[in-house]
């Protein structure tokens, strides 16, 4: 079976650190091209400034991985799908729920694969956590997702603009995990969004959710953390407490702690290849819906200006 010819569109940190190595490590894919108006791309790989140029002039591709900021992703994805090209959407899958739904419908009409990729769901501890929780009664959940924006997103102005999500850019990773591992649906009750006086998106958020059985779920998001970073989820159940730490890589159960290697993006690309070979799409919008609910229902408070 011939490898899937894929182009990576957008060559920021996530593309270079995660996407390119994952593609090179998966024999189901061959890196056919890269696209960026600013970055020349890796040596030896055909490079174009615009996706339109790639689709019109070649080299031929079967799929694209869109690693651009979410505000511009809809037009790129629609352009690719119009040509019957499969599309991998880095998280978040779009700037709005409506545009992601439109892309899902368009992909179905042209029989192309659309994959909304939630990389944190492929962290080593997530699948066994989901299995362990499947027959437990969840009593309480605490999510602490605190990191230093200057370390992880230095100088990225787009992330502070409408559609860039602010602290929900990392926070949506936690939401992608809890919507995947908890056995019942989750919805928002209250939220407070802390927005710097010189920015359009929040730098911190305090959120209260619950599941449909009434279990309390509290989330603490903050981009002002210095020193050790915190990416932790604790789930109290009738059988003891489950903890996912290091963004889901480390799972602690009442019986002990499990560690495994970080293979998130390898898992994403294995999933994408299987979807393409099977003629299917995977467009879960639950994490983005919860973010949208926070912006819809959350109380806003102005905090001190933020400068990189």
Reported as a single tens digit per residue, the pLDDT across 152-189 is 999 899 999 999 999 999 999 999 999 999 999 999 99
* For residues 102-110, average pLDDT: 97
* For residues 250-260, average pLDDT: 87
Answer whether 145's CB lies under 8 Å from 218's CB. no
For residue 2, what are the contacts with CB-CB under 8 A and spacing of at least 6? none
pLDDT for position 238? 96
* For residues 22-30, average pLDDT: 97
pLDDT for position 279? 97
pLDDT for position 307? 93
pLDDT for position 39? 86
Q: Which of 100-114, 116-130, 255-269, 275-289 has the least mean pLDDT?
A: 255-269
pLDDT confidence tier of residue 308, bands split at 50, 70 and 90: confident
CA 138 to chain centre: 25
Do the bridges between strand 114-116 and strand 86-89 make them parallel or antiparallel, or are there none, so unpaired?
parallel
Reported as a single tens digit per residue, the pLDDT across 56-88 is 998 999 999 999 999 999 999 999 999 999 999
Q: In angstroms, how far apart are the furthest CA atoms of the chain?
A: 60
Active-site residue numbers? 91
The mean pLDDT value of the chain amounts to 96
Answer whether 194's CB lies under 8 Å from 181's CB. no
Reported as a single tens digit per residue, the pLDDT across 130-149 is 999 999 999 999 999 999 99
What's the CA gap between 121 and 177, in Å, rounded?
A: 6
Provide the percentage of residues in the chain whose pLDDT is more than 70.
100
What's the CA gap between 180 and 121, in Å, rounded?
A: 7
Supply φ then ψ for residue 207, to 5 degrees.
-130, 140
Question: Residue 260: is its pLDDT beyond 80?
Answer: no
pLDDT for position 38? 87
Q: Provide the token pair at 160.
A: 């502070």
pLDDT confidence tier of residue 1, bands split at 50, 70 and 90: confident
What Cα–Cα distance (Å) separates residue 256 from each residue in 243, 253, 259? 10, 5, 10
Question: Residue 262: is its pLDDT beyond 80?
Answer: no
What's the CA gap between 200 and 189, in Å, rounded?
A: 23
Q: Provide the token pair at 295.
A: 């912006």
What's the CA gap between 208 and 277, in Å, rounded?
A: 40
pLDDT confidence tier of residue 249, bands split at 50, 70 and 90: very high
- Sheet architecture: strand order including 230-237: 256-259, 250-253, 240-245, 230-237, 138-146, 216-222, 204-211, 186-196, 299-303
* Second-level CATH architecture of 4-116: 3-Layer(aba) Sandwich (3.40)
pLDDT for position 150? 95
Question: Residue 299: is its pLDDT beyond 80?
Answer: yes
- Domain spans of the chain, in order of start: 4-116, 120-260+292-303
Reported as a single tens digit per residue, the pLDDT across 191-216 is 999 999 999 999 999 999 999 999 99
Half-sphere exposure of 14 (CA within 13 A, CB side): 22
pLDDT for position 213? 95
* Second-level CATH architecture of 120-260+292-303: 2-Layer Sandwich (3.30)
pLDDT confidence tier of residue 40, bands split at 50, 70 and 90: confident
């Amino acid at each position: 079976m011939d490898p899937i010819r894929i182009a990576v569109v957008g060559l920021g940190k996530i593309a270079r650190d995660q996407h390119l190595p994952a593609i090179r490590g998966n024999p189901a894919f061959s890196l056919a091209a890269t696209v960026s108006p600013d970055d020349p791309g890796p040596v030896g790989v055909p490079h174009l400034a615009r996706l339109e140029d790639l689709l019109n002039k070649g080299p031929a591709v079967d799929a694209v991985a869109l690693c651009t900021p979410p505000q511009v992703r809809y037009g790129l994805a629609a352009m690719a799908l119009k040509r019957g090209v499969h599309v991998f959407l880095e998280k978040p899958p779009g700037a709005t729920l409506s545009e992601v739904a439109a892309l899902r419908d368009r992909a179905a009409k042209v029989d192309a694969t659309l994959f909304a990729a939630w990389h944190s769901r492929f962290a080593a501890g997530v699948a066994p956590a989901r299995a362990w929780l499947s027959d437990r009664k969840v009593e309480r959940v605490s999510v602490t997702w605190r990191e230093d924006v200057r370390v992880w997103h230095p100088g990225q102005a787009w992330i502070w603009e409408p559609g860039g999500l602010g602290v929900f850019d990392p926070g949506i990773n936690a939401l992608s995990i809890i919507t995947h591992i908890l056995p019942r649906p989750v919805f928002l009750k209250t939220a407070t969004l802390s927005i710097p006086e010189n920015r359009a998106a929040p730098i911190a958020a305090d959120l209260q959710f619950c599941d449909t059985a009434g279990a309390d779920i509290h989330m603490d998001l903050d981009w002002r953390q210095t020193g050790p970073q915190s990416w932790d989820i604790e789930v109290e159940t009738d059988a003891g407490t489950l903890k996912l730490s290091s963004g889901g890589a480390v799972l602690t159960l009442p019986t002990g702690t499990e560690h495994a290697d970080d293979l998130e993006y390898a898992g994403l690309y294995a999933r994408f290849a299987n979807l393409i070979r099977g003629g299917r799409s995977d467009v879960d919008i639950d994490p983005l819906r919860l973010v949208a609910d926070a912006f819809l229902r959350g109380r806003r408070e102005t905090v001190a200006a933020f400068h990189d």
